């Protein structure tokens, strides 16, 4: 199945202008432009109206936001939309009403990654002229395709015999697990009976659909800042309190935290930094880390152990430590009732050659906030994998999507939404 050329053009435009978490100013404005030109929506909530702003996590500083805001303006983003998004309140919720029936939600994420894109002539975006125009940023995980699928599904449902309400959540800041909670806690999710979320690729080829994905690892980010006392390293080392020693002890001991018999656990010290010169006892050092668990409870177990290790390491070296919790996301499970519907629909989509009933993600995703919110309200939720051939792995400089998979994703998701509204599993 080939994808509508207009949607391919949209995907490529979004690919040219990737924006990291909470900086998706051009992306949101472009989505709004497409929605308004293509559809007669009952409601379109943009920026602050789409979010519970107090639950945003991982928001960059004002200077960073302003840089990207002005860049979006330079690219010609609609001024009225930009004004709404100022301060990093990005994202949108589109609402299509078609008579009496259930409310079905679709969540798609829209942010890029702070990562340079390959200039290799064998890399299709470079060869075909839609490589990232933003130095140091790219769509290395397919969220440009996700946003495009969201718009395509709205169009497809608008032309169908669907009866009910469809809400599409164009969610910012997935890559820092910072945006899901703010959409989950907004009023827009309260009446959703069924929720689908999706991701392209995940090491599944074009023509393969995963009807229900599980294995989401709950995750929490944390920053530990160690403070000691500076001194001359040669003249008076005994007068110092070495923050780097405390940090190094903490890193080493964190990797020694016992694993848990209830399931998989993870910890990683992704950033370690500190000190100023070879002859100065370091006064300050910092660790940026994350913990994960197969369940939310296992993630909490790892966090509790990591916190104890950090405090003990500081005390051992006569330093202080300040701990700051960053973004986090819970685990979730796809409901079989929805996965069965997706599998049945996918089997009849042109170009889909293989349907897997289940698979494990093995990573983290803040769509879990929305999934759990709907499930806790008595509804059903499911995370769908849309296979796509990608020459580079996710989060690599050569990642790209097979654009035929966009059309397959639209047909699968739209068909499932129609079936859900009819069958009400």
Return the CATH number of the domain spanning residue range 5-215+330-423. 3.40.630.10
Numbered residues of the known binding site for Mn(2+) = 141, 143, 175, 199, 395
Residue listed under structure tokens 């500083």: 61
Tell how strand 354-360 and strand 208-214 pair up: parallel
* Every domain of the chain and the residues it spans: 5-215+330-423, 218-329
Reported confidence tier of residue 394, pLDDT bands at 50, 70, 90:
very high
- What is the share, in percent, of the chain residues with pLDDT greater than 90? 96
Burial (0-12, 13-18, 19+ Cβ within 10 Å), 389: middle
- Among the listed residues 390, 335, 331, the one whose alpha carbon sits nearest the alpha carbon of residue 361: 331
Spatial strand order of the sheet with 265-274 comes to 265-274, 284-293, 218-227, 320-329
Distance CA 417, CA 410 (A): 10
Query: What pLDDT score does 70 carry?
Result: 97
pTM for the full predicted model: 0.92
Looking at the DSSP assignment, which residues form a beta bridge with residue 170?
92, 108
Containing H/E element for 220? strand 218-227
Numbered residues of the known binding site = 141, 143, 175, 199, 395
Distance CA 290, CA 305 (A): 12
Reported confidence tier of residue 92, pLDDT bands at 50, 70, 90:
very high
In tens, the pLDDT along 202-250 reads: 999 999 999 999 989 999 999 999 999 999 999 999 999 999 999 999 9
In order of 17, 23, 82, the CA distances from 66 in angstroms are 16, 9, 11
In tens, the pLDDT along 6-32 reads: 999 999 999 999 999 999 999 999 999
CB within 8 Å of 184: residues ≥ 6 apart: 55, 369, 370, 372, 373
325-332: average pLDDT? 91
Structure tokens that stand for 27 in this block? 């992306």
pLDDT at 325 over 80: yes
Return the CATH number of the domain spanning residue range 218-329. 3.30.70.360
Say what angle helices 62-74 and 25-38 make with each other, to 10 degrees: 40
In tens, the pLDDT along 395-411 reads: 999 999 999 999 999 99
Structure tokens that stand for 300 in this block? 């909490």
Query: What pLDDT score does 1 carry?
Result: 66
Tell how strand 194-200 and strand 380-386 pair up: parallel
| Exposure string over 291-308, b if 16+ CB within 10 A, otherwise e | bbbbbbebbebbbebbbe
pLDDT at 351 over 90: yes
Averaged pLDDT score across all residues of the chain: 96
């Amino acid at each position: 199945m080939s994808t509508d050329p207009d949607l391919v053009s949209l995907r490529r435009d979004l690919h040219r202008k990737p924006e990291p978490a909470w900086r998706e100013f051009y992306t949101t404005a472009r989505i709004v432009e497409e929605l308004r030109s293509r559809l007669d929506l009952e409601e379109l909530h943009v920026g602050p109206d789409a979010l519970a702003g107090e639950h945003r996590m991982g928001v960059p500083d004002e200077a960073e936001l302003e840089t990207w805001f002005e860049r979006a303006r330079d690219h010609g983003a609609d001024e009225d939309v930009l004004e709404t998004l100022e301060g990093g309140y990005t994202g949108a919720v589109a609402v299509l009403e078609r008579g009496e029936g259930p409310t079905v939600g679709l969540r798609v994420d829209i942010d890029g990654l702070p990562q340079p894109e390959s200039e290799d002539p064998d890399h299709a975006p470079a060869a075909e002229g839609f490589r990232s125009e933003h130095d140091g940023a790219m769509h290395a995980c397919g969220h440009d395709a996700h946003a495009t699928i969201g718009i395509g599904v709205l169009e497809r449902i608008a032309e169908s015999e669907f009866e009910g309400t469809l809400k599409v959540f164009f969610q910012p800041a997935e890559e820092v697990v910072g945006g899901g909670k703010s959409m989950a806690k907004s009023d827009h999710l309260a009446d959703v009976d069924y929720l689908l979320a999706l991701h392209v690729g995940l090491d599944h080829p074009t023509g393969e659909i995963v009807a229900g994905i599980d294995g989401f690892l709950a995750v929490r980010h944390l920053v530990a800042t160690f403070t000691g006392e500076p001194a001359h390293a040669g003249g008076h080392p005994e007068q110092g309190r070495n923050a780097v020693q405390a940090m190094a002890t903490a890193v080493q001991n964190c990797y020694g935290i016992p694993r848990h018999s209830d399931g998989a656990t993870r910890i990683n010290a992704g950033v370690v930094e500190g000190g100023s010169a070879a002859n100065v006892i370091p006064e300050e050092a910092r660790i940026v880390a994350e913990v994960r668990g197969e369940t939310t409870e296992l993630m909490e177990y790892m966090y509790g152990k990591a916190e104890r290790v950090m405090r003990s390491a500081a005390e051992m070296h006569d330093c202080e430590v300040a701990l700051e919790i960053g973004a986090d996301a819970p685990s979730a499970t796809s409901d079989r009732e929805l996965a069965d519907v997706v599998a049945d629909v996918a089997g009849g989509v042109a170009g889909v050659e293989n349907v897997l009933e289940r698979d494990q993600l093995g990573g983290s995703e803040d769509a879990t906030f929305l999934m759990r919110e709907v499930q806790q309200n008595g509804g059903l939720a499911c995370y769908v994998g849309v296979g796509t051939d990608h020459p580079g792995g996710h989060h690599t400089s050569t990642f790209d999507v097979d654009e035929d998979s966009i059309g397959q994703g639209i047909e699968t998701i739209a068909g499932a939404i129609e079936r859900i509204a009819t069958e009400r599993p």
